[in-house]
Amino acid sequence: MTIPLVIGNWKMNMLASEACDLARSLVDRLSAVEGVVIAPPFTSLYPVSQIIKGSSLGLAGQNFHFESKGAYTGEVSLKMLKDVGCGYALIGHSERRQLFGETDETVNKKVHLAMQMGITAVVCVGETGEQRKAGETLSVIETQLSGGLAGLSGESIAHLAIAYEPVWAIGTGLNATPEQAVDIHKFIRKFLFERQGFSEKMGARILYGGSVTPENCAELLREEEINGALVGGASLNFESFYAIIKSSLEP
């Protein structure tokens, strides 16, 4: 059985001391639980890495540049993320796509780099509300997947997770229903195995993200198709994030 993956995306929130406090609470209560990852802002990565050292908590970068070094003022490389202890990196979050010009091409470059460096890439895909209303959901996701995952080999799935995050659900309090999420997860899984040539035996972790809360997580996470959650707002508070993690561990 695939261990569920629950990732807390802290976005541009919390000072380093606050991030460390939250990380400390998580370590205290979850030190031996596999499959929990936190993605603090860059400035908190190193101090948080010192707190979670020796625990089972994983660390993720929220973004990185696809070049390994050079004159890219304001950017951070994947090698730098790895250096401070990241084993995971979010790639193509809709906020990066909408606000910072991330494209399927740059997603693809980043995914290849993550594979080369043994970092688990968490590739985010999802449609806007307008695209859903226009009946374009599947074609949008197909385009994001085929562009973002172009040229990846079958074995690379072991170092990959896909997060289905409908844009209309992110930070809106309006989560996808389990049925809506399952439909898209099935579509993604089929794409990965049939079009991408990934080995079915190795499984594929497909997470759901978009207004996951302690109130709605159980009904989403009990679906076999949903292998975990990417959590934004509710991961900023210990009690709500802990409740979601606990729910992911229930059979």
Residue of 5, 8, 60, 165 that binds ligand PEP (CB under 6 A): 165
Site for ligand PEP in 180-209 (CB under 6 A): 209
Q: Which two tokens stand for residue 206?
A: 């497909």
Nearest residue relative to ligand PEP (C-beta): 232
The catalytic position among 95, 102, 165, 185 is 165
Residue of 145, 212, 217, 244 that binds ligand PEP (CB under 6 A): 212
Q: Does 9 bind ligand PEP (CB under 6 A)?
A: yes
Residue with tokens 């309006």: 174
Q: For the residues of 164-196, what is the DSSP string, one character each?
A: E--GGGTTTS-PPPHHHHHHHHHHHHHIIIIIS
Q: Does 233 bind ligand PEP (CB under 6 A)?
A: yes
Gap between the Cα atoms of 28 and 30, Å rounded: 6
Gap between the Cα atoms of 41 and 65, Å rounded: 15
- List of E strands, 111-154: 120-125
Does residue 93 have an active-site annotation?
yes
C-beta of 35 vs 210, nearer to ligand PEP: 210
Q: Which two tokens stand for residue 47?
A: 């101090």
Q: Does 210 bind ligand PEP (CB under 6 A)?
A: yes
Catalytically annotated residues:
93, 165
List residues near ligand PEP by CB under 6 A. 9, 165, 170-171, 209-212, 230-234
